[in-house]
Amino acid sequence: MRTALTIAGSDSCAGAGIQADLKTFYAHGVYGMSVITAVTAQNTKGVIGIENISADMVEKQLDAIFTDIKVDAVKVGMLSNRDIIKSVSRKLKKYSPDNIVLDPVMVSKSGHTLLGPDAKDILLKELLPLCTIVTPNIPEAEVITGVTINSINDMKKSCKVIFEMGAKMILIKGGHLSTDPVDILFDGKGFKYFIGKRIHTKNTHGTGCTLSSAIASNLAKGYSVEKSIVKAKEYITIAIQNSLSIGKGIGPTNHFYSIYKKCNMLKEIGEFKNEC
């Protein structure tokens, strides 16, 4: 079985962070593992508290996994502060896994800061160049580049700036556009466009976490970066279409629906015999 590791924060309501990542790995048939960088007290309405894990304990978790188990892909999410970023970068440099997807989480959908203001520079300098692909949303791309994004052209300009900073591949996600969402991939040579239809729902908690861990799952299974994004977009679209009105705020996406659909499909073609 292929394996994937998430290095991210815990979200107590499980719409985003470690919990969303592990659900996504599971739904993709990939063995999921976790290194927790912070514990957040969080629900669909917002973030109530954050307690960071010490950099030393983050390193111990990384050593525990990498000295024992082959990791086919890594997804990196919330990293909180400079010390944690330095530790994660050092260990990823040392163990050098084949595929690293960096979701540069900065602010939650509910507006809470998840990355210290002094941590951005070290993230870009130490971690960005180690990653196969970085997946900022529009506000994150604006903070990284200083380029205001109002159009597809602005997204393309930002991709080029992030490439110049040392990223190998950049996917700027269009969930925050006012139009239909268009995600743009740049590999230093050309652009690819992943065009979606906007699903009108308030329940989009954890969409970025889910997309990046779906990309990591597909990379772990050996798909190319482009194919991994196409398949991850299919997954997130179904998860948003069937998102859940749980709680009073921004509800989570629905991972179960994808598994359920897959099981029924396998049943139909006679390859799934057990109860699903």
Ligand X SMILES: Nc1ncnc2c1ncn2[C@@H]1O[C@H](COP(=O)(O)OP(=O)(O)OP(=O)(O)O)[C@@H](O)[C@H]1O
Ligand Y SMILES: Cc1ncc(COP(=O)(O)O)c(N)n1
3 state SS of 266: helix
Catalytic residue flag (residue 204): yes
CB 161 within 8 A of CB 202: no
Q: Does 206 bind ligand X (CB under 6 A)?
A: yes
228: left (phi over 0), alpha (psi -120 to 50) or beta: alpha
Q: State the nearest-atom distance from the C-beta of 199 to ligand X, in Å.
A: 4
Whether 140 and 106 have beta carbons less than 8 Å apart is answered as yes
- CB 96 to ligand X: min, Å: 26
Distance, in Å, from the CA atom of 252 to the CA atom of 187, rounded to the nearest integer, reads 31
* Annotated catalytic residue within 91, 109, 209, 253: 209
Residue 57: exposure state from Cβ atoms within 10 A (0-12, 13-18, ≥19): middle
Query: Is 206 part of the annotated catalytic residue set?
Result: yes
Cβ contact 59:87 at 8 Å: yes
Q: Distance between CA 126 and CA 147 in Å, rounded?
A: 22
Site map 126..165 versus ligand X, x via CB under 6 A:
-----------x----------------------------
> Does position 78 bind ligand Y by CB under 6 A?
yes
44 is a catalytic site residue: no
Verify binding: residue 183, ligand X, rule CB under 6 A.
yes
Q: Which sequence positions are flagged as catalytic?
A: 173, 204, 206-209
The residues binding ligand X (CB under 6 A) are 16, 109, 137, 173-176, 181, 183, 196, 198-199, 204, 206-209, 211, 233, 236, 240
The residues binding ligand Y (CB under 6 A) are 8-9, 11, 16-17, 40, 42, 77-78, 105, 108-110, 205-206, 208-209
